[in-house]
Amino acid sequence: MQWITAELWERLAHEETDAHRLGTHPRGWVDRYGDWVLETAEEGRASRWEEWREEIGRRFHFAPRGWLVREWTRDARDQQPARVVHGDDPGEITVREDGAAYVVRPGAGYSSGLFLDQRLNRRWVRGLRARRTLNLFAYTCSFSVCSALGGGGTLSVDTSKRALARGRENFSSNAIPAGGEHRFVAEDVMRFVPRLARRREEFDLIILDPPTFGRAEGRVFRLERDLPELVRGCASLLVPGGWMLVACNNARWNAADLRAVCAEALPRDAFSITPGETPPEIPRAAVSWRLRRASQNHRLTPPSRCCPG
């Protein structure tokens, strides 16, 4: 097991962060969620929770209230909930990241509700202080929370009403009134983006963090097929000088693959592309790129054929 350093533990505490990676090994990893630990192990690998619980006690003087173990599967649809092997079942708890509060369920199946590998990108979003942010595939709206804490208005879009309800919980946990300048829309992103273009809505920041595969309103979303057109459509919604964060966790794509897809979808010289940030303690993180539209007003035409509605 490759544990984080004591120095990083202390720095995270100073930053008011208690949801983060604790350690990684070749066939799994161990994460902290407040007073609980979630161990993720590849299929067929036995847990060593007793040994590792003692180890984190020695290293960090941390005694978790409970230890959960889940068997990781590549297909999110097959992911089973974690089981409690020690202590209390956390159920639903509130954790902190850079002082912001998020409601999570550590024992849930594929995700607790907060993707820990996006911590530094969320910090970047908060510091950007965008006036208007569009968060697509918003899930539980953690990026929207960060943008709202930075002082801007937000529009969060996801097909799941349940996920958006949890997003509203996250807004409430941070004393941000939902409604008004913060909108939540349960709809297919591929149909909604052209509608925004027809309404001539513009944004200073767009978050695009799609799943590899999904279904919405009878339509199947496939990352390899649909992401280029979606990037092109989103680019047309950005103000000059605006930013787009594109992230994905596709096992078939590395960072260079995602960059190539983004570059090929955009007009030449209209955008600069710089890497997103990954927490150094998470080696198998989602890849991401930050795309910035040039300040001069290039003409960007949204595609008309990809997403009817």
Query: Are residues 188 and 218 in contact, defined by beta-carbon separation less than 8 angstroms?
Result: no
- What pLDDT, on a 0 to 100 scale, did the predictor assign at position 304? 44
- What pLDDT, on a 0 to 100 scale, did the predictor assign at position 305? 41
- What pLDDT, on a 0 to 100 scale, did the predictor assign at position 249? 86
Q: Domains plus CATH for the chain?
A: 2-90 (3.30.750), 116-293 (3.40.50.150)
- What pLDDT, on a 0 to 100 scale, did the predictor assign at position 197? 96
- What pLDDT, on a 0 to 100 scale, did the predictor assign at position 76? 61
- What pLDDT, on a 0 to 100 scale, did the predictor assign at position 308? 35
- What pLDDT, on a 0 to 100 scale, did the predictor assign at position 26? 87
- What pLDDT, on a 0 to 100 scale, did the predictor assign at position 94? 98
- What pLDDT, on a 0 to 100 scale, did the predictor assign at position 268? 84
| Rounded-to-integer distance, Cα 286 and Cα 280, Å | 12
| Rounded-to-integer distance, Cα 20 and Cα 34, Å | 9
Tens of pLDDT, residue by residue, the chain (309 residues):
999 999 999 999 999 999 999 999 988 999 999 999 999 988 778 899 999 999 999 999 999 999 999 987 766 666 788 999 999 999 999 999 999 999 999 999 778 999 999 999 999 999 999 999 999 999 999 999 999 999 999 999 999 999 999 999 999 999 999 888 999 999 999 999 999 999 999 999 999 999 866 666 667 677 888 999 999 999 999 999 999 999 998 888 899 999 999 999 998 889 999 999 999 999 989 999 999 999 865 555 554 444 433
- What pLDDT, on a 0 to 100 scale, did the predictor assign at position 299? 56
Strand order in the sheet with 271-275: 182-186, 153-158, 132-136, 203-208, 238-248, 287-293, 271-275
Distance of CA 152 to the CA centre of its chain: 19
The whole model's pTM is what?
0.92
Query: Are residues 94 and 119 in contact, defined by beta-carbon separation less than 8 angstroms?
Result: no
Helix axes 161-173, 142-149, angle to 10 degrees: 30
